[in-house]
Amino acid sequence: MLKQSLSQKLLQKLSPQQIQLMKLLQLPTVALEQRIKEELETNEALEEGAPEDVDDEKLQDEEETQLDDGVEEGSDDNDNKKDEFDNSAEEEIKDRNTDDFDVDDYITDEDVPYYKSNANNSSPDDERTEMPLGASVTFQETLLVQLGMMNLDEKQKLIAHHLIGSLDEDGYLRRDLNSIVNDLAFTQNIHTTSDELLQVLQVIQTFDPPGTGARNLQECLLLQLQRKNKDNKAIQRAIEIIKNYMDEFSKKHYEKIARLMNLPDEYLKEAMQEILKLNPRPGGDISADAKTVQHIVPDFIITNHDGHLELTLNSRNAPELRINREYNEMMEGYANSKKHDRSQKEAILYLKQKIDSAKWFIDAIKQRQATLLHTMQAIMNYQIDYFQEGDEKLLKPMILKDIADIVGLDISTVSRVANSKYVQTPFGTFLLKTFFSEGMATDSGEEVSTREVKKILSDAIEGEDKRKPLPDDQLAKILNDKGYNVARRTIAKYREQLNIPVARLRKEL
């Protein structure tokens, strides 16, 4: 049964300008540059770069002169034209359910100096360095060049092309040969056998870098060892270890290997040194060179001037933005025109929409910079001991709420500032969110950051005897002796976060 009722609700909605600001706030410097380019392409009323024929200081002088002397010439004519526009064009705009607006707000030549509609995000002193992109040869291209030097028939070359294309970025052939036989039959109508595939694969395995075309780690290491001097006793023992005791080697059961091979520790150590020289990812180096290097552009720069910290916002990639002067002149021309037909009214609405959008974007950029600086200043003051000394042990426990209470912003806003932003310090460039950490109490009741605990844990592991690495329970005892109440399972969690393997895998001869 349908019913009608009247109810009142109190809702809070974000305006389009607020949504735009939130989206800009979470963008890092590199992404902001791309976002500004997109806005410049979609909004003709927005321009990049300072005006060529207008000087800011000159505009300020003109503004002061206008305020002192006044501008009265032609004011009566302009008022009559604007009154005529108000009586004709704006009334019809209202009838079309559009917002009423004053054209004078969009004419800035007399009332508002032009430099006030600019957003200067950079300084002439900013260093604008170019980052050259180097072109390199891919891993597959390197192998195809070597393939052209081989004496193979047409069918074998087609099979070799397919096998090279099937190698992953590490240089391994992960697929089963029987599956590749089916692929060749269905996709290229090449009928072959797994034995013929193996013969071609063995040719590819002679290519550089050594280990290319291996089907697993064991085969990769053997291919590299077999290219070495086989008369060397250490090489022979290394080949035997990889061929017969690969499982024990991967688990670092060195005592078991020495016992099964009846080897003294000195001979085992020599063989292990030869194995450790090998590359488990033969194609990884070339693949990494072929990839575009992703440079980190810091969003904030902290400099230390004799103990005084100075914070600046990196605006190198943010161009100067301003309102297109031609749009203001067009708006003025329509206001002074005696003829106001339908096409002119639509043009005025279009100009209003584009100019408003450009002003909102410039204001959002300015507010973004102010919010970033305000928030980062609070973080720097909160962690001032660390930024002056660079010692992670001086980091205080800090969560988003701590900074949000200081700057008077919402936690979500602080999170957007800290997300994907980098800060350049005298001690390196760091991701901003890494400075946020939980706290824990010591035996003395002092609140310390978990990053301090991780630093002490990392130092303890780095200084351990690698022949007898410390297990997690002993690491927990070391930290407890220093006053940090940490359980063994917490040590395991911190160790995993630091990408440190268990004690057995840290063992060395």
Tokens of 337: 């025109």
Place of tokens 């688990």: 251
Taking only the tens place, the pLDDT of each residue in 328-381 is: 777 777 767 766 677 777 877 888 888 888 888 888 888 888 888 899 999 999
Read off the DSSP letter of residue 292. Answer: P
Average pLDDT, stretch 378-390? 88
Residue 256 belongs to some domain of the structure: yes
Q: Is the pLDDT of residue 74 over 80?
A: no
Taking only the tens place, the pLDDT of each residue in 175-230 is: 899 999 998 999 888 898 999 999 999 999 999 889 999 999 999 999 999 988 87
Residue 254 belongs to some domain of the structure: yes
262, 288, 314: which is the final residue of a domain? 288
- Contact in structure between 322 and 36 (CB atoms under 8 Å): no
Taking only the tens place, the pLDDT of each residue in 450-490 is: 777 888 888 888 888 888 888 888 888 888 888 778 888 88
Residue 282 belongs to some domain of the structure: yes
Q: Distance between CA atoms of 507 and 509, rounded to whole angstroms?
A: 7
Average pLDDT, stretch 289-305? 74
3-class secondary structure, 182: helix
259, 288, 317: which is the final residue of a domain? 288
Q: What is the chain's mean pLDDT, rounded?
A: 77
225, 260, 288: which is the final residue of a domain? 288
What is the per-residue burial (b if ≥16 Cβ within 10 Å, else e) of 82-110? beebeeebbeebeeeeeeeeebeebbbee
CB-based contacts of 283, cutoff 8 Å, min separation 6: 139, 167, 168, 169, 170, 171, 172, 209, 212
Cβ-based neighbour number of residue 120 at 10 Å: 16
Q: Distance between CA atoms of 11 and 504, rounded to whole angstroms?
A: 59
Residue 216 belongs to some domain of the structure: yes
- Percentage of residues of the chain with pLDDT beyond 70: 76
Residue 230 belongs to some domain of the structure: yes
Residue 89 belongs to some domain of the structure: no
pTM of the complete model: 0.56
Find the domain containing 179 and state its range: 139-288
- Contact in structure between 380 and 309 (CB atoms under 8 Å): yes
Residue 200 belongs to some domain of the structure: yes
- Count up the domains in the chain and report the number: 2
Q: CATH number for the domain including 456?
A: 1.10.10.60
Q: Where are the alpha helices (DSSP H) in 188-341?
A: 194-204, 217-225, 233-244, 246-250, 254-261, 265-276, 284-290, 325-336
Residue 65 belongs to some domain of the structure: no
3-class secondary structure, 422: strand
